[in-house]
Amino acid sequence: MSDAGVGDKIFVDSAGTGAWHVDQAPDRRSQEAARKRGIDLSAQRARQVTTDDFKNFDYVLAMDAANLRILSELCPSDLVSSISLFLDYAPSLNRRGVPDPYHGGGRGFEVVLDLIEAASNGLLSHIRSYDL
């Protein structure tokens, strides 16, 4: 977001719906793919979604339908409108979910980063429409 000139106005975080990898760094393949794009994930550590996340973030974005369902169950009913699929911000991709790269072969992490970059650009355009 700092490259887009909004780093002082937008805070981005990541959390999983399960506790499998809490406090662990991203998979080395993920870090390597990101590093090739100039993104350093080495300080990132996994954490699990909390109910406070729905109060603290304007957008809670799910990577796929299964995680969307879990987030919807965790979310307080008055904040459910903050939840959506991340790829909804990249409608031209004609995809609803980001695949799990761990089982997608060597190129899986590159594909996921392509999807995330496309959705991030769409989300940023959406946010900018509110005149940051």
Instruction: Report all structural domains of the chain as residue ranges with CATH numbers, in order of start.
Output: 28-128 (3.40.50.2300)
At 97, give phi and psi (nearest 5°). -130, 150
* CA–CA distance, 9 with 2 (Å, rounded to integer): 9
CB of 99 closer than 8 Å to CB of 109:
no
State residue 132's pLDDT score: 55
Condensed to tens digits (0 to 9), the pLDDT of residues 96-117 reads 999 999 876 779 999 999 999 9
Instruction: Give the residue-averaged pLDDT of 23-50.
Output: 96
CB of 62 closer than 8 Å to CB of 68:
yes
Residue 84's H or E segment, with its range, is strand 83-85
User: Among the listed ranges 6-10, 48-52, 69-73, 79-83, which one has the minimum average pLDDT value?
Assistant: 6-10
- Whose tokens are 């995680």? That residue is 67
Full-model pTM: 0.89
Residue 5: Cβ-neighbour burial (10 angstroms; 0-12, 13-18, 19+): exposed
